[in-house]
Amino acid sequence: MEVIARAIVVREGAVLLMQELAAGYWFFPGGHVEAGETPEVALVRELREELAAGATVGERLGELSNTWEQHHEINHVFAVILDVEDPVSQEPHLAAGWHRVEDLGAVDVRPRALADLVVSLR
């Protein structure tokens, strides 16, 4: 089982997502919680690595279990404020982009339940 910390960054009705360029799907920024880290500490580290952005971790929005093929992950989900206006991916295989919350139903977001959570929070 993998433990993941995910950021929900919302500005002016749009949410920040990351795209896996080779596969085309989108996901919420964040990443693996390393040994000895809390999900909050891992999230700040991952956002600095992925987006060269500082982050203020706010409210815990919940935990989401996700299983596909042989993988099982637990996502710890937090509201986050970034210290940059237009974050840019620092990873060549990823792109960052803003999507209107009301349009998430038409976007290939994985895990889907996370996108549904964001829509329900509106």
What is the C-alpha separation between 40 and 16, in angstroms, rounded? 18
Q: What is the per-residue pLDDT for 68? A: 73
What is the C-alpha separation between 24 and 4, in angstroms, rounded? 21
Q: What is the per-residue pLDDT for 41? A: 98
pTM, rounded to two decimals: 0.93
Residue 42 structural domain: 2-120
Domain count along the chain: 1
Please name the residues in contact with 10: beta carbons below 8 A apart, sequence gap of 6 or more.
16, 79, 101, 118
Question: How confident is the model over 51-97, as pLDDT tens digits?
Answer: 999 999 999 999 999 887 888 999 999 999 999 999 999 999 999 99
Say which CATH number the domain at 71 has. 3.90.79.10
Q: What six digits make up the tokens of 104?
A: 């998430």
